[in-house]
């Protein structure tokens, strides 16, 4: 019974990560539109865009299979797998 509960929890976490990734992609597109069409401080918009892009990569890393995570390294630290 406990294994079933763990599986449900894992599936819920996976669904939340996918939803977060979808939201981050939407935000990234919105920031790009603001960057292209607004007089808002461009360095500020660029920095926010970079942070959102980093968030997107971290979510993709978390959603990748464990063997793939090892192969590409950790985007949070910028370290390669064998460092």
| b/e sequence 47-82, b meaning 16+ C-beta within 10 Å | ebbeebeebbebbeeeeeeeeeeeeeeebeeeeeee
**Structural domain contains residue 31:** yes
- Summarised one tens digit per residue, pLDDT across range 10-27 is 899 999 999 999 999 999
**Structural domain contains residue 21:** yes
pTM of the model: 0.68
Please provide the average confidence, as pLDDT, over all residues in the chain.
83
Total number of domains constituting the chain: 1
**Structural domain contains residue 79:** no
What domain range includes position 34? 2-70
Per the CB < 8 A criterion, the answer to whether 28 and 49 are in contact is yes
């Amino acid at each position: 019974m406990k294994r079933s509960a763990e599986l449900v929890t894992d599936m819920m976490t996976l669904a939340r990560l996918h939803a977060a990734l979808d939201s981050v992609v939407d935000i990234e597109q919105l920031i790009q539109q603001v960057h292209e069409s607004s007089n808002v401080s461009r360095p500020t918009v660029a920095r926010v865009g970079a942070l959102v892009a980093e968030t997107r990569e971290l979510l993709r890393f978390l959603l990748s299979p464990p063997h793939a995570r090892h192969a590409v390294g950790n985007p949070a630290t910028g370290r390669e797998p064998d460092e």
